[in-house]
Amino acid sequence: MSEWLYPDAVVETDWLEEHLDDENVRIFECTTYLHYMDDNPSLPYVVESGRSDYENVHIKGAAFLDLQGELSNPDSPYRFTMPAYNDLADRFAAKGVGDGFRVVLYSRVAMQWATRIWWMLRSVGFDNAAILNGGWEKWDAERRVAEGGNCEYAPANFRACPRPELFVDKKVVLDAIGDNAVCTLNALTADLHRGENTRYGRAGRVPGSVNVPAMSLANPEDKTFVSLDEAQQAFNNVGVRRDQRVINYCGGGIAATLDAFLLYQLGYKNLTVYDDSMSQWAMDSSLPIETD
């Protein structure tokens, strides 16, 4: 199994370089950095926009999407909470995402920032977006065309067609505990899943959840996705079944989208993301938690 099930959702660096000047292709860098504060559970990480690195050098013609600053709910106590669907669609449209455009998303260090934006776009009904396989690291290693400064696109027309089933809240996750028809899948690192780190408050995981770390689904050498065969084996190893609803979660709903993206490419149909994930769950003492 080597071909993408949904090839329009992934582009390679050579394809993108050939289409840089296409008027209907719009490229967006989505980089965010997390600086972990493991000695301060009330503040699991400090968020830094990747805009500075973007302005220093980026793929030619790419604009920048600031996930926390522009595309998250500013009134939420959590860092990356989804805004209202119509509001989000308006924000995307203002940045140039909309009807008639093919959107390519990329990020630095980890593709999960691009997959988060991709998942958000799907949640408001925009399906013409793709992840650049390998992101900035692969593009830069291949010495492909880049530039500095800031680029912006003209606003686009885009009306939301929400898919609210693509995100769930803590009540849905709580109700799914012990339900064999649901697999709750943790995309955090194994030490966090086992309960060896109090980064998000209480150590541990959602009871009964299984673990496929998002970082294990990308090749360390060039940051590309692992093969679909490798991804399928990883999900098989922890018992993720195709007849289940899969609730993907992590620390803040970011890494979970990389797991969800590969499950989507493998043909799993009933996929969702717990938006605030352990940033919310671990800090709420009324919710159960499990460790090894």
Could you tell me what percent of the chain has a pLDDT over 70? 97
41 pLDDT band, cuts 50/70/90, is: low
This prediction's pTM: 0.96
What CATH number is given to the structural domain containing 254? Answer: 3.40.250.10
Contact yes or no for 265/234 (Cβ under 8 A): no
What pLDDT, on the 0 to 100 scale, is given for residue 124?
98
107 and 171 share one domain? no
Q: How many whole angstroms separate alpha carbon 240 and alpha carbon 264?
A: 13
What pLDDT, on the 0 to 100 scale, is given for residue 193?
98
Nearest to 223 by CA among 94, 129, 115, 119: 115
Q: What is the pLDDT of residues 78-92, one digit of tens each?
A: 989 999 999 999 999
178 and 260 share one domain? yes
Q: Does residue 32 lie within any of the structural domains? A: yes
Among 147, 175, 192, identify where a domain stops.
147
Task: Report CA Rg, the chain.
Answer: 18
DSSP 3-state assignment of 39? coil
112 and 173 share one domain? no
pLDDT at position 163 over 60: yes
User: 57 vs 38, which has greater pLDDT?
Assistant: 57
Q: Please, is 19 exposed, middle or buried when counting C-beta atoms within 10 Å of its C-beta (0-12, 13-18, 19+)?
A: middle
Q: Does residue 174 lie within any of the structural domains? A: yes
Q: What average pLDDT score do residues 16-21 get?
A: 98
Q: What average pLDDT score do residues 187-209 get?
A: 95
The one-character DSSP state at 174 is: H
What pLDDT, on the 0 to 100 scale, is given for residue 42?
62
Q: What is the pLDDT of residues 255-279, one digit of tens each?
A: 999 999 999 999 999 999 999 999 9
44 pLDDT band, cuts 50/70/90, is: confident
Q: How many whole angstroms separate alpha carbon 114 and alpha carbon 26?
A: 14
Q: Does residue 157 lie within any of the structural domains? A: no
Q: How many whole angstroms separate alpha carbon 81 and alpha carbon 138?
A: 29
Tokens for 251?
Answer: 């620390």
Longest Cα–Cα distance in the chain: 53
Q: What average pLDDT score do residues 3-27 get?
A: 97
What pLDDT, on the 0 to 100 scale, is given for residue 45?
76
Domain, as residue range, for 268 = 167-282
Q: How many whole angstroms separate alpha carbon 16 and alpha carbon 1?
A: 24
68 and 112 share one domain? yes
The single-letter code of the amino acid at 87 is: D
State the DSSP H helix or E strand holding residue 249, giving kind and residue range, or none if neither.
strand 245-249
3 pLDDT band, cuts 50/70/90, is: confident
DSSP 3-state assignment of 91? helix
